[in-house]
Amino acid sequence: MKLQRITMMTGLFLVMAVSLAGPVLAQHEGHDESVTVRGEILDLACYLAHEAKGPDHISCAKRCVKGGQPMGLLAEDGTVFLLYASHDDGSAYDAAKEFAGMQVAVTGMKAQQNGMTGIEVHEVKKISGDGK
């Protein structure tokens, strides 16, 4: 009986420890992974509101991201990444605005936080001739 009580107490302790440590462990889910992702640069306001994308949306997308709307990347596999500028040098992020609505390869640091995945833009290259 005493062994069963010790085992039950140990199990309870482990459940409590995992419950308390879970939020702490989830705070820093995955920074510092360098990636290159191919896809279309999105103006997230139009994409989320009415799935606007593609060559027909280039001029609107450029206007929106240059006006301050958030920018994303619709990867070839359908994943949408939030794009953001480096605190040290935002020039690559600013350059990416010129490619809104176009196919690019974005290289940078991938980060995940609370279900959101983003890429700190370090480099962007156009990969198709669809620009207007």
Q: pLDDT tens across 61-104, in order?
A: 999 999 999 999 999 999 999 999 999 999 999 999 999 999 99
Grouping H, G, I as helix, E, B as strand and the rest as coil, residue 63 is helix
131 lies in some domain: no
Residues 3 and 41 in one domain: no
Residues 71 and 103 in one domain: yes
What does the block give as tokens for 8? 């039950």
Tell me if 13 sits within 8 A of 45, measured CB to CB: no
Domain around 13: 1-29
Residues 38 and 3 in one domain: no
The arithmetic mean of pLDDT across residues 24-34, rounded, is 58
Q: Does the pTM exceed 0.75?
A: no
Residues 110 and 84 in one domain: yes
Where does the pLDDT of residue 29 fall: very low under 50, low under 70, confident under 90, or very high at 90 and above? Answer: low
Q: What is the pLDDT of residue 124?
A: 98
* Structural domains counted in the chain: 2
- The C-alpha atoms of residue 96 and residue 123 are separated, in whole angstroms, by 8
Residues 6 and 45 in one domain: no
Residues 41 and 68 in one domain: yes
Q: What is the DSSP letter of 74?
A: E
Residues 13 and 41 in one domain: no
With tokens 């360098």, the residue in question is 34
Residues 5 and 39 in one domain: no
Does the CA dihedral 50-55-59-63 come out positive or negative?
Answer: positive
Residues 72 and 93 in one domain: yes
DSSP letters, 2-48, are HHHHHHHHHHHHHHHHHHHHHHHHHTS----EEEEEEEEEEEHHHHH
Q: What is the number of other CB atoms lying within 10 angstroms of the CB of residue 65?
A: 27
